[in-house]
Every structure is written in structure tokens, then in C-alpha cells.
Structure 1
Amino acid sequence: MGTVVSIELADEVPESDLSGFVDMTCAWLHEVDGRFSTYKPDSEVCRLRDGTLKPADASPDLRLVLDRCADLWRDTDGYFDAYAGGALDPSGYVKGWSVEVASQRLAAAGSQRHFLSAGGDIRMRGAGPGGRPWRVGVRHPFEADKLAWVLSLTDGAVATSGTYERGAHVFDPRTGKPAAGLRSVTVVGPDLAVADAYATAALAMGERGLAWLAKRVADGYESAAVTDDGRAFTSPGLPVVS
């Protein structure tokens, strides 16, 4: 998926169990990468793009992702669009979804205290080391050596989308131009795949994304954003450490 994944386990179990948890998680993420890669010609996504794979013959995971991308396209008024670049690219959903599923699989296998991070997409479950909440630093979008916020959570997801590292990689699907107005958007909520998609959609919307994010609070999704001119906004329930 073109990113680095880190796994932290706080479970008080034998070391062999911890190694098994890591191996299981890595195997799943490699499986996802092989299936959803947009640059490996034999991936399902690439074969669907070039017509050598019919949608009806796709794996259950790919069909699920396509259905959820379609749902999010409707929920975001078209601002989350797996076809924004012309060809199918569900990466904006897949990264968060794959980590969310990894966390669910870890929980089912017996890991109730873990922290998974994949390129700014984070899913934590249970308490951290010492029984304390996990802490997540949100990078300052203008000063790389500083944090804009520090969040404290025991269960939940954190997703950040911004223009400060990869430049203009998110586009406004209505204009076809790079997103402008917001430099960084962070969304906190119960499901990482949804939080990731919401952060991407809000960034694509520009400043009108601030009002759109405020409406997501009722669904359990808090947010923080920094505009291109340096103004900062947070929703009332954002779990910020003072």
C-alpha cells in the first residue's frame, strides 16, 4: 500500500502469542496489498481496470469495498470518489478498512489491547501500556517538528488527510482541480475506514468541509482541521489532552 505499518501490543500474554498476532496481521495486510494494489498488474483492482476481471468474478472483499465506496460517494455528496482520477482507485478506503479489519481479527484472536498505525491511519483497542489510554500526536501541518494536537483514546480510530507531505494528491471531483482551503483534516471515530473516508472527503470539499464535518458528530465522528491560512478548528468532543 506504499506505506509503513507499525504494530504495538499491550496484551499480557506469552511472547509466542504476541508473535502470532504480528504474523497474522502482516499476512492480512500483504494479502490486501496484493489484491488492491493499483500498480501490480496481477492485482484484482488492476485486472478489473483493464477488463480481464469481471465484477461478478471479483473476490468478496473487492465487492465489499466497491459497495462501501459507492455508499460513501452518496454519503459525501460525491466528494469521496474512488473514480476521482478517472480509473478505479479505492485506496482512500482500503487502507483504513484493512487496518480496521486487522484490529477486528486481532480482537477475535485474543488481543484486546493493541495499536495499529498505517501512514496516518490509526486503530487502537483497549488500554495502552500500564493501563493508560493510548496517545496520538497529530502533526502540525506547517511545522513538521511540532504537534497540532495530542489525542487520548482507549478505543477508536484516528485518520488524518492533508496536503503537507504528499502535496496535491486529493482532488475536488467537481472541478477536477487539487483540493484547496484545508491543509489538514483529522477525524476520530469508531470505524477507521469511515474516519479515513470522511477525512479525505472533507479535504476535497475545502472550507465547506468544516460544516460538513460538524454534522458527523451526531454519528460519533469528532474532527480537527487546519485551513490553508493557518486557522484551526475542533469539534467539541475531540479527545484532546490539555
Structure 2
Amino acid sequence: MDTIIHIKAVSSISTEAVNASIDRAFAAFRYVEETCSRFDSNSELRRLSLKPGVSQPISPLLFEALRFARQLAEITGGIFDPTVGQLLERKGFARHYLTGFPPAPVPTIPPTPVSYQDIVIDEYEQTVTLIKPLLLDLGAVAKGLAVDLATRELEKYDGYLIDAGGDIFAGGRNERDEPWQIGIQHPLQTDQNICVLRISDMAVCTSGSYERRSPLDGATHHLLNPYTEKSSGELISCTVVAPFTMLADGLSTAVFLLEQRHGLEMLESMNFEGLTVSSTLDLTMTTQMKRYVYE
């Protein structure tokens, strides 16, 4: 998933048992990547794009990820869109982080406009039909989903923390029997925090423009508006706090793309909290976000 994953557990049981749980938690990340990676020619997600116009049964994991991504696309009017795979590849985001090579091209995908509305999901049959030739991308939800799966292996402990490069779930309490302290990275001074949160049994996810840049121009970042096909410059980062990680992961991307005012208004309407950092380093929060800020 092109990031370093840290897992910590607080428990009085044997180290051997805790390590076994952590190993199973790490396995969840491998499983999600094997299923949902756009960069792997053999992934289930990539293979789904090979048969447009055909109703295809898919695994429960991929089904849930796609269903959630499509619902979030509807909520945001298509600003968040899981059909941006082709657009991302055209902008230079096409190489696997491990091999450095692009996956095998998906054939018969002409450069025609596509959107989330070209994904038809059958809840009863648990099938997906892609109306047009397109390439799916679940980069905004898959890592969060992996964190949520990993929590199942750790929720029996007094406390645990899963940190997957900006996608975090803090369960229970830390080794001092206090809420976990989560630093939100300063977008420009990456060795510093712009603020610190105190969290327990919640997810914290940050989307930012400062981590991934296109190798084609060095300026375009990976959070692309599907309507303009451009990167937004209004925000540098967005952080969302939510009950589970896939939700916080997807919402942080959606708020970033909706930009500050509309994005925070959406969070408020959904009773979730978050904060944004503008290009001028102004920090803006939802009404109740301050209850999480450690001062």
C-alpha cells in the first residue's frame, strides 16, 4: 500500500499471543491489497475492469468497498469518484510502488467520459456491472478498509493503535490508561505536528497534497477533481474523525476535493468532525472538532 504500517497493542497477556494477533492484523493489509490494488494486474479489482457490460460476481470484500465508494460518490455529487483510474494513469500515477512498473494495460478502454453512475451494483446477487469500459480506483477507501479488518484482531485488548500512513484507528486507551494522542503532520514541516488530537475508539484519517506527486510534471498531486481533471490548490490537507476507518478515509478525500467550505459543511451535516489546512496554512475546524484537540 506504499506506506509503513505500525501496530501497537496494550495488554497484560503474553507477548507471544499479542504478536500472533498483530501478525493476523498485518495479513489483513496483504489481503486487501491483493484484492483492491489498481497497480496489480492480477488483483480482483483490475480483473473486474476486463469485462465491461457483464454482470460479475465479486468477493464480499470488494463488494463492500465498491458499494461504499459508490454511495460516497452519490453523496458528493460525483466529486469523489471511484472510476478515476484512467485519469490517474494519464496523470502519471500508474507504477506499482514495489516494482516501479505499470500493470498490464486494460484493453478496449477508449478515452470517453465515465463516472460512478457507470457502476451498477446488485445488492441481492452481490454482483457488479460496469456499463462502460473503465478503470476503477479504490485508493481512497481500501487502506481504511484494511485498518478496519485489522481492528478485528486487536479489539479484545485494552488498547491498540493501527497507523497506516495517515489512516489511524485508536482503540481503547494507551499504556498510561489515557486516550491516544494522534499528531496531525504539518504539511510543510513534516517533522512537526500542526495539531495533536486525543482519541479513543475512533478513526483519524488525513488526505493531503504533499505526499504523492505526478512523475510527469512534479506538480500535479493524486487528489484529482474528476470534472476538471485537475488538482485543487485551495487545501493542503484534510483530517476527518469518524467511527470507522474506511469512512474517515473516504470522507477525508471527499472533503479535500469539495474544498474547505463545502467539505466542512458536508461533515457537519453528517455529524462528523474534521479540520482542513489551507494553502496559506490556515486551520479550520468543524464546530465540535475542538473536543478532540489536545492543548
TM-score by length of 1: 0.92
* Cα 1:41–1:113 shift into 2, 3 Å: same
Q: Does 1:198 align with 2:251?
A: yes
1:115 aligned residue: 161
Q: Which has the higher contact order (CA 8 A, sep 6+)?
A: 2
Instruction: Give the CA deviation at 1:33.
Output: 1.2
2:175 aligned residue: 129
Structure 1 unmatched runs, 5+: none
Structure 2 unmatched runs, 5+: 87-134, 214-220
State which structure, 1 or 2, has the greater radius of gyration over its C-alpha atoms: 2
2:138 aligned to which of 90, 108, 126: 90
1:175 aligned residue: 228
2:283 aligned residue: 232
Cα shift readout 1:169-223 (whole Å, capped 9, x = no counterpart): 101112111122111101112121111111101111223xx33323423544211
8 Å Cα contact 2:38-2:85 kept in structure 1: no
2:8 aligned residue: 8
Cα shift readout 1:17-53 (whole Å, capped 9, x = no counterpart): 101111111112111111112122111011112239x
1:44 aligned residue: 44
Measured in 2, the distance between the counterparts of 1:156 and 1:217 equals: 17
1:146 aligned residue: 192
Residues 50-89 of structure 1 correspond to what in structure 2 (within 5 A)?
50-51=50-51, 56-86=56-86, 87-89=135-137
Cα shift readout 1:149-171 (whole Å, capped 9, x = no counterpart): 00011210100001112131101
Measured in 2, the distance between the counterparts of 1:211 and 1:204 equals: 9
1:89 maps to a residue whose letter is D
Measured in 2, the distance between the counterparts of 1:105 and 1:51 equals: 35
2:150 aligned to which of 85, 89, 102: 102
Question: Partner of 1:51: helix, strand, or coil?
Answer: coil
Measured in 2, the distance between the counterparts of 1:55 and 1:106 equals: 36
8 Å Cα contact 1:82-1:89 kept in structure 2: yes
Instruction: Give the CA deviation at 1:121.
Output: 0.2
Deviates more, 1:215-224 or 1:143-152: 215-224
Instruction: Give the CA deviation at 1:133.
Output: 1.1
Deviates more, 1:21-30 or 1:210-219: 210-219
2:242 aligned residue: 189
Measured in 2, the distance between the counterparts of 1:161 and 1:79 equals: 15
Measured in 2, the distance between the counterparts of 1:170 and 1:72 equals: 15
8 Å Cα contact 1:179-1:205 kept in structure 2: no
Instruction: Give the CA deviation at 1:55.
Output: 5.3
Instruction: Give the CA deviation at 1:84.
Output: 2.1
Question: Partner of 1:92: helix, strand, or coil?
Answer: coil
- Write 1 or 2 for the structure with the bigger share of helix: 1
2:12 maps to a residue whose letter is E
Q: Does 1:211 align with 2:249?
A: no
8 Å Cα contact 1:79-1:201 kept in structure 2: yes
